[in-house]
Chain A
Amino acid sequence: MLIEFKVNAKQYKMDVCPTMRLLDLLREELRLTGTKEGCGEGECGSCTVIMEGKAVNSCLVLAPQICGKEIITVEGLADDRELDLLQQKFMEHSAVECGFCTPGMLMSAKALLMKNPHPTDEEIRTAIAGNLCRCAGYSKIVAAIKDAADA
């Protein structure tokens, strides 16, 4: 079926299979492989993208459901080769270990700061509670988000 949507400020018109997931559309069709698949059932948050300003698991969204919607992926954070402040702070705080959860963490954090520019630690922790880091580097991730918010 034919759908129109926006990804990272770029307008698309595509014929998609109705059973396709947003995650597969991003990775396979648009080759935006920054968005990762972990569990495929909404438990791990690796595939988090921002849809209409809200963090969502792209593995749980059907491609036709994004018709008329705006999506931001991790590739949409950096602007003209300059990193988003969150990305810079993740680097400064060494908030990346193996890196697999990082795109999802960044997108959950970005969605939080878009809605709430000055979150408390509790609000930061709630915002990333659906993102698992198997390296367990949570403290540094929270510190990086906090620093980006305070900057």
Chain B
Amino acid sequence: MAKFKYLKPSTLQEALCFLNGNESDKKVISGGTDIMVQLRNNKIDPEIIIDISEIENLKGIHSRDGFITIGAATTLTEIAESDIVKRYCPILAQAAASVGATQIRNRGTIGGNVCNASPAADTIPALVALGAVATVVSVEQEREVLLEELFVGVGKTAINSNELLTFISIPQPTENSAGSFFKLGKRKAQAISIVNGAVQIGVNAAEGKFTDVHVVMGSVAPTVLRIREAEESLIGRSINRQNIENAAEIVKNKISPISDVRATADYRKDVSGNLFIEAMSDSLEQLGVDVSYPGC
């Protein structure tokens, strides 16, 4: 492992000051579950490592003013076990619980999963489906970025080198909404997703119509994909199998997966449609709407 200087700020202000100078290559670390592997494989070679894991106000989950706010240094275990997350955004709890294994989730953080910007990251599709917003701060300014606009390529985000992701805020879903997270891997634990994704839907059960639909797919493009055409094909329409199957076709056509060691592109396309249908069926079941898919 290359030599680097290790800094452990105890406050956000101190961390931002460390990030502000542009004289050398810096990397932010918290749980280190991705960074340590990259350091060891010489994929990154920073001069300074800034450890934000001890900054108290970047940890924890709060529900206030209609938003669930999660500090960037909150661990995946804390998110998976949080009563607030399980109650208001269960798809995020499921996504967090599906990352790596216990040891990884005990150290790995939500901020790290987002900033590492892997196309196969598990929490990202859930966060995008929930309409999450990232708070990004530098010494000079604080800005909010819609999470789906944060990713610019494989491993790349729109966060500048002098900025720090501090919080992720999720608008509290309404009563008549539900969601489903899905992940297909070779095994349950420690698997990099072949395909993952999430749907979050709102319905008017009395009229039998979709009022809101978020469809997000991961591992099928360089960045997470929100499939707006599939969403638009459902919003305001009747809840029935035909409409869901049409939307599944759109999902299959709008993704651009690659063939790699985990699966072929064709397989990823087919399975994406099926996973989408299963997720819609699961979400509707939670809302007490039966579209009866035999075998799902």
Interface residues of A (CB under 8 A from B): 1, 18-19, 21, 40-43, 45, 48, 54-57, 59-62, 64-65, 67, 108, 111, 126-127, 129-131
**B33→A60 contact, CB < 8 A:** yes
**B36→A60 contact, CB < 8 A:** yes
Closest residue to A127 on the B side, CB-wise? B102
**A130→B100 contact, CB < 8 A:** yes
State A55–B108 Cα separation when bound (angstroms).
Answer: 12
**A19→B53 contact, CB < 8 A:** no
Give every chain A residue within 8 A of B5 (Cβ-Cβ): 18
**B103→A45 contact, CB < 8 A:** yes
State A110–B269 Cα separation when bound (angstroms).
Answer: 42
CB distance from A115 to the nearest CB of B (A): 10
Give every chain B residue within 8 A of A64 (Cβ-Cβ): 6, 8, 51
Give every chain A residue within 8 A of B107 (Cβ-Cβ): 56-57, 60-61
Closest residue to A21 on the B side, CB-wise? B36
State A105–B40 Cα separation when bound (angstroms).
Answer: 24
Select one of A45, A60, A127 contacting B32, CB under 8 A: A60
**B32→A19 contact, CB < 8 A:** no
CB distance from A53 to the nearest CB of B (A): 10
Give every chain A residue within 8 A of B213 (Cβ-Cβ): none
Q: Number of B interface residues at 8 Å Cβ cutoff, please give it.
A: 29
State A129–B99 Cα separation when bound (angstroms).
Answer: 11
| Among A21, A55, A65, A127, residue most surrounded by chain B Cβ atoms (within 10 Å) | A65
Closest residue to B31 on the A side, CB-wise? A60
State A113–B58 Cα separation when bound (angstroms).
Answer: 29
**A54→B106 contact, CB < 8 A:** yes
State A40–B39 Cα separation when bound (angstroms).
Answer: 11
Interface residues of B (CB under 8 A from A): 1-6, 8, 29, 31-33, 36-37, 39-40, 49, 51, 53, 77, 100-104, 106-107, 188-190
State A3–B1 Cα separation when bound (angstroms).
Answer: 20
Give every chain B residue within 8 A of A43 (Cβ-Cβ): 190
Give every chain A residue within 8 A of B1 (Cβ-Cβ): 19, 21
State A21–B1 Cα separation when bound (angstroms).
Answer: 10
Give every chain A residue within 8 A of B36 (Cβ-Cβ): 21, 41-42, 59-62
**A62→B49 contact, CB < 8 A:** yes
Closest residue to A49 on the B side, CB-wise? B103
Given contacts A1-B6, A60-B33, A62-B6, 16 further A-B contacts (CB under 8 A): A18-B6, A19-B4, A40-B40, A42-B37, A43-B190, A54-B106, A55-B103, A61-B36, A62-B51, A65-B51, A129-B188, A129-B190, A130-B100, A130-B102, A130-B104, A131-B101
**A130→B37 contact, CB < 8 A:** no
**A126→B102 contact, CB < 8 A:** yes
Closest residue to A62 on the B side, CB-wise? B32
State A60–B32 Cα separation when bound (angstroms).
Answer: 6
Give every chain A residue within 8 A of B51 (Cβ-Cβ): 62, 64-65
State A38–B201 Cα separation when bound (angstroms).
Answer: 43
Give every chain B residue within 8 A of A65 (Cβ-Cβ): 8, 32, 51, 53
CB distance from A23 to the nearest CB of B (A): 10
Give every chain A residue within 8 A of B31 (Cβ-Cβ): 60
**B102→A42 contact, CB < 8 A:** no
**B106→A42 contact, CB < 8 A:** no
Some 18 contacts from A to B, beta carbons below 8 A apart, are A18-B5, A41-B37, A42-B36, A42-B37, A42-B103, A56-B103, A56-B107, A59-B36, A61-B36, A62-B32, A65-B53, A67-B8, A126-B102, A126-B189, A129-B101, A129-B188, A130-B103, A131-B101
State A41–B8 Cα separation when bound (angstroms).
Answer: 23
Query: What 8 A-B pairs come out closest when comparing CB atoms?
Result: A130-B101, A129-B189, A18-B6, A54-B106, A60-B36, A41-B37, A57-B103, A19-B1
Known: A40-B40, A57-B107, A61-B107. Contact between A129 and B102, CB under 8 A?
A: yes
CB distance from A22 to the nearest CB of B (A): 10
Give every chain B residue within 8 A of A59 (Cβ-Cβ): 36
Select one of A18, A41, A131 contacting B40, CB under 8 A: A41
**A130→B190 contact, CB < 8 A:** yes
Select one of B4, B32, B102, B190 contacting A108, CB under 8 A: B102
Closest residue to B32 on the A side, CB-wise? A60
